[in-house]
Structure 1
């Protein structure tokens, strides 16, 4: 297996993982920022006030985008399995 093939697979894997993590991370970031602003305005410093809404928002995002995430992972996995003969054969 050539180094260019390994690098190509690594880049594809990183790109897919970034695409799959983005909805969850962006949601947690936005909700966390909104709760932080609310906490600083009201001066309420409860840890559960930041954790519970973030957990609920992430759960909702996983429910909404879960099918797309699974489809992307299956597509990537099929592409990797389809590449096996070319990688073993060297061509």
Structure 2
């Protein structure tokens, strides 16, 4: 295995990480921004108002995106295993 193969695996792993974590982080950021805007407009400074909706929405998004996330991880793992097997055969 040379440096090009290592860089390719690292690049693919970063892309998979972004595919899996990106949507959740974006949704969490948007929800936090909306809640902060609501708090600024109404001057309500309740700590649970920021925490509870974020947790509920992120949990819902995780449930909704779980098949996509699992499929992405399975595909990456299979490709990585195929590379490892290919290295052993040559």
- Number of equivalences: 90
1:15 is displaced (CA, Å) by 0.3
TM-score, normalised relative to structure 1: 0.93
Residue 18 of structure 1: aligned partner: 18
1:22 is displaced (CA, Å) by 1.1
Unmatched 5+ stretches in structure 1: none
TM-score, normalised relative to structure 2: 0.94
Residue 29 of structure 1: aligned partner: 29
Cα deviation, 1:1-57, whole Å, max 9, x if unaligned, reads 100100000000000000100111011001000000000000111111001000011
Q: Distance in 1 between matches of 2:81 and 2:7?
A: 16
Aligned CA RMSD, in angstroms, stands at: 1.1
Dislocated runs of 4+, deviation >4 Å: none
| Match status 1:78 vs 2:73 | no
